[in-house]
Structures are given as C-alpha cells and as structure tokens.
Amino acid sequence: MTPETKLPKVGTTIFTVMSQLAVEHGAVNLGQGFPDFEVPARLVAALERAMREGRNQYAPMSGVPPLRQAIAGKTERCYGYRPDADAEVTVTSGASEAIFDAIHAVVRSGDEVIVLDPCYDCYEPAIDLAGGIAVHVPLHPETFAPDWTKIRAAVSPRTRMIMINSPHNPSGAMWSADDMRQLDELLAGTSIYLLSDEVYEHIIFDGRRHESALLYPSLRERAFVISSFGKTYHCTGWKIGYCIAPPAMSAEFRKVHQYNTFCTFAPAQFAFAEMIEAEPAHYEQLGAFYEAKRDRFREQLLTTRLRPLPVPGGYFQLVDYSRISDLPDAEFCRWLAIEKGVASIPLSPFYGTPPEGQRLARLCFAKNESTLDAAIERLQSL
C-alpha cells in the first residue's frame, strides 16, 4: 500500500546525495557541514563520566536543570540578557528539531511563513507539514543581504512568521545592526513571530558582532532563538540544540517537543553543562579558530580557477565556478565529485526558485588542514 505523500517536493536531501557520491568515488568531502577533527577532550571526558555515574535514563522534558542554567548564564555573558532557565530555555535533539517544534507551535493551516532564499532545506518541509505556506523572498544574489523592499512587499495579513538565519548557511553572510533595526520596525505592532536560526552564532570573523535577536528586547519578545551545540563543539552527530523563547511561546513550543522527541540524550546534557561552565574560552575563541581556517583556505582557493566569495561568518565558503564551467550547479557538483574527487554542495536546493545562471557551489572548511590540502590539490587541476 503506497500512501499519498505529504511532502511531494521532498526527495533524498542533497547532503545525502553528495556524501554518498563522495564515498562511491573516493572524493574529499567538503560537502556536508561537519568537522573531521576531534571533539574537545573535556567534553568527551564529561560525557563518559556522566554515563558511568548512571545519568542514562530519561531527562526532564525541557532539559536537565544544570544545562538550562548554563545556557542562561552563557546567554547573559554573550548578549547581556539572562533568560529564565525554567520557563524560557528548552533543550532539543538538535537545532532541526527546535526549528520543527517552533514552526508547529504557532503556524496554522493557511498561515504564511516568510523564508529568505537561499535557506536551509529543513525550513519548508516543516512549514508544509504544519499546513502553512512558505513565501520565498530572495536575498541579494551576491552579498546575500536582506532586500527590505522585497521583504516588506511579502508581508500580508496571513503572515504568521518570518525566519532569519545569521550567520547564514550557505553563504556565511551576517545581518547588520541596521538590518535588525529594520526587522524590528517591520514587525512592530504586528502579531508576526520571528524564528532566528543562530546555530553559527560563535563562528564570526573580522571583529564583527553577532546580531542576535536576543540583543533586541522588542524582537526577543516575539522570537524563537535557536542554537546548536553540534556546531559550537564539533560534535554534529550528538544532535543537541536548544531554543530560547518567552514563557508563553516556550509553553507552546514544549507541547510539540514533548510529543516529538519528549527529551534529549541525557548524558550529553550533563556533559555540555560542565563544558559551558568550565571552559567558556572554547566558544569565546571559536571565531578566531575558524577565521584562521577560512583565511588559509581562501588563500589556497586563489591558486585555483574558482573565485571565493566573502565569508563574514560560519564555516562554509561559496565559490563561483563560472570560469571553469557553464553547467548548472547540481550537474557541476556531481561532475566535480565523480571526475575531480571533491564533493561540494550546489546552491539550487536552498531556493524555492533558483536564480537563472547562478554558478555557485558551497565548500565546507571545518576540516583538518590535511583534508583541505588534499581538496585544493585536486581543485588546482580544474
């Protein structure tokens, strides 16, 4: 018996496709966004200790108290605002779960949700499953900055939520203080919710400030702010994230969360609580750690025919391949993996309607130097 699909536009994700190609053809995998270096030693030791101490049963639905308190303290340290650990902080099984829960908490059938293209591929399916309508608004095709004329024009009486992402996946672009001011003005006096995807919040470069929604009182009162320990602590496979939202919004968020995953891997929660409190230097120095990787990788790319775009934050590097090929991006990335041995990600799957003639691919530089060196050697032959 074949069910009628609820997600007709969804197939195998591009990340799975490209990673499989990398395995099949022995390609250096700069596609899927995961580090290939070690998790912090303190975090691994804390996880092992938590398991040996018997912290292996269900965690509280909203997260273990030490971790929620640590998140509240870290938030205050970073953004000058301390959320209520009991009423406003919820631990989830990764940021993707938090995004799903936030959308399903407030989006009803027929509601519109503004998403800014290119955007991460889990946004629209969650909107579709909630019965909502994703309204795609393109960012600037080169700088990936918000186009406020287009965003304002997209707002309608049916707009229920706007989703933003800074630092941005796939481009690394970051919202400015002026962008946040314009967003604040746009939403003032409305009942529109904000979902602020901030999973790369600590991976910022060149002395810039991450403009979290939590810095702006009138934005945070309507915002689900989502982050990810996997990105910050190099352990994407642990799938631990969290959401900060006002009490009434968190209550609705938790109604979805409790029937989605109910709770999240308990030993890791205790490990993260210890790591945050004992080693704040890790997240404070993360930008400098990745900035060195970005700079080195960018210098290497300049020895190839690929043109690297600016990367203000995050751990992805967009490259323009128009000097090499006129193939559409999905075809080019497939060719690059099979024929040249480097796996990348095309940008078109991040769009509702991809721009005509765009020739960009995404490379991940959250890798060991040896991995990046091997990729560059292959890219120099293009």
Cα separation, 23 vs 26, whole angstroms: 5
pLDDT for position 82: 98
Can you give the pLDDT at residue 25? 87
pLDDT of residue 2: 82
pLDDT of residue 206: 97
Amino acid at 330: A
CA neighbor of 63 nearest in space, from 48, 85, 96:
85
Topology at the third CATH level for domain 41-280: Aspartate Aminotransferase; domain 2 (3.40.640)
DSSP 237: G
Helix axes 65-79, 266-278, angle to 10 degrees: 40
Domain spans, the chain = 14-39+284-379, 41-280
Tell me which residue of 26, 34, 13 sits closest to 343, measured CA to CA.
26
Alpha carbon distances (Å) from 217 to 177, 209, 211, 212: 14, 17, 12, 11
Burial of 106 (0-12, 13-18, 19+ CB in 10 A): buried
CA distance 257 to 332: 39
In the predicted model, residues of the chain with pLDDT beneath 50 are: none
pLDDT at 325: 96
Matching residue, tokens 């560059």: 376
Q: Which CATH superfamily is domain 14-39+284-379 in?
A: Aspartate Aminotransferase, domain 1 (3.90.1150.10)
Strand, helix or coil at 223?
strand
* CA dist., res. 369 & res. 28, Å (int): 12
For residue 96, the model assigns a pLDDT of: 97
C-alpha 195/C-alpha 382 separation (Å) is 40
pLDDT value for 23:
87
d(CA 74, CA 70): 6
Contacts of 25 (CB under 8 A, 6+ apart): 337, 338, 341
pLDDT of residue 107: 98
Q: Which H or E run contains 125?
A: helix 123-129
Query: What pLDDT score was predicted for residue 12?
Result: 75
The answer to whether the beta carbons of residues 311 and 172 sit under 8 Å apart is yes
Residue 52 neighbours by CB under 8 Å, 6+ apart: none
